[in-house]
Amino acid sequence: MKAKIALVFLSSVIFTFAATTRTFSQEEFNYEKALADYVFTLNNYQKEHSEYLLARSQFQQARTLASETKAIVETKDMLAARDEVVRTYLTALRLRLIESEGIDQNSKETIFARLDSEAAWFNDHKQRVGSAGTLNDLVADSNEARTHFVNFTEGVIFETLDTLPLGKITILREGLTKTLNKAEEKTEKIRQKGDHDTSIVERWIGQTDNTLTRSLDKELDARKIVLRIQSGVDERGRKTINNKASHNNVLRLASESLQLMKNANGFLKEVISSIRTKS
């Protein structure tokens, strides 16, 4: 083969989907079904890729018209299967986002539009691969898909993967804040009665609130990185951004934000216990 077709470029993406098993009705299509479709197409790609490698090796050794024709057929099948892996993965991400809470609808719609655009691109590319006539044409098709994935698709994948845990953090913080507000109201009522000294509890409430604020700051820093992934511009305004490094930073900040919320939850339990002894 005149040039080596690139291996699947999805290896640069961290797949975080959990494997699930379930029976589906014909009408139902949700995240779990989309995930099953992705796993099926990934397995099919791996089979097609093995057959492509064999055909490539045979062509490189024989250099006959028959071996070249076989290599073209197997390369087309492999590239089409690779496009389908990307498309079904994007679809699974979309369904996961639909079913996720803590993410405002406008943010979801923005990501939906990008996911749909990328899925449509790879579906169109899959159709174009079938019309390639030579191995050189297929090399060009493969390089085109790889370049598009790195420049466009990878960004929206990481943006989606980073948005999902931040949505969960938002829900947790809302619950803690609501409970803290109730504790503060109850403490104020006890203070006004004058039956008990509430100064220590009030200080604990302040410490809890400060911890939640620090957690929020971490979350906001993570969201800034997600926005940079979306725009493709780094913190210095350059039009290049390391999506994987940015993704890791988002996960780090999300983990730190979650840990601070766990700390705040522990403080809040102490506050509530103290309030009960004074009620």
The C-alpha atoms of residue 130 and residue 80 are separated, in whole angstroms, by: 8
Q: What DSSP string describes 130-192?
A: TT--SHHHHHHHHHHHHHHIIIIIHHHHHHHHHHHHHHHHHHHHHHHHHHHHHHHHHHHHHHH
Which span out of 6-15, 62-71, 233-242 was modeled with the highest average pLDDT? 62-71
Angle at 236 between CA 254 and CA 221, to 5 degrees: 20
pLDDT of residue 27: 55
CB contact at 8 A, 273 and 187: no
Work out the pLDDT band at 23, boundaries 50, 70, 90: very low
pLDDT of residue 238: 60
- Tens of pLDDT, residue by residue over 51-92, are 999 999 999 999 999 999 999 999 999 999 999 999 999 999
CB contact at 8 A, 145 and 122: yes
pLDDT of residue 113: 96
- Tens of pLDDT, residue by residue over 104-122, are 999 999 999 999 999 999 9
On average, the pLDDT of the chain sits at 89
Looking at the whole model, is its pTM more than 0.85?
A: no
State yes or no: pLDDT of 21 exceeds 50.
no
